[in-house]
Structure 1
């Protein structure tokens, strides 16, 4: 697990792309997936707060907050842009922020309602993905690419074949231990399943 700042230091281009998509409509907008008590998924819109120090979210008293308090696993997906099908995704573990100074600083910066029953969570980054859909001059084409990343063992994963019919999954490990990937696909084709 890596903090957002560790991830951003290890993968600055990927982190910038994710941050831009999460904050494309202002302070932050995405979909938070949590794990229900019965093991099923729960998805809610949220306003993530991304700073140089971390990836955070204020969560009011709700089923999603109880999910995070019970089982910290989460996934955060960007809201789709109006002009493309680009998407960003991060997943990891959420943990409550207990430092009063950090909570106060972020509450002020994010204009969190002072009298609401919310709790601030910091999200670590285990997996990060950025998918872009591109059009070529000759029409849609499959563009699958990943930057080679050194793994902790010093090996690198080669980028997938750019002529492949189906983009390959990306699971390269950054030096911070985060599984990272970047994918470019033609418009209209989604990697969502």
Structure 2
């Protein structure tokens, strides 16, 4: 999936608190389902707790969703000479490619993820601004030819902005 002439490549994982929250919610849901299906029959539940069916059901019911969610919470940003591409997941479930010819300007910014965009991930505000972030509070804001704005979160925003600025104006390199 990597272009032959990638000038910038960054992989980011979401903050550990996101994974902890997801794991906690899954555990609570699992306990609620067990409580609902066994209707306070704790003795009956404990007699079947180590059966093969119970363990397979537990691993499939809690493990697979967690694995799927964790595999999605991975953001990759890649810039080549003519495009910048951002995608989420090891098998991309969301991909956005921007032609650098359409970029009017780019600047390194500090933003407030929750206050400005309602959190991390793929975000769109009512005014049309978009954000693609995974963690932290720094990124590169692009202003596109159509007037729209896109924030790309990065742990190395200066490097990304430098590559984008040089690629958008090849005569300046």
**What TM-score, normalized to structure 1?**
0.22
Structure with the largest fraction of helix: 2
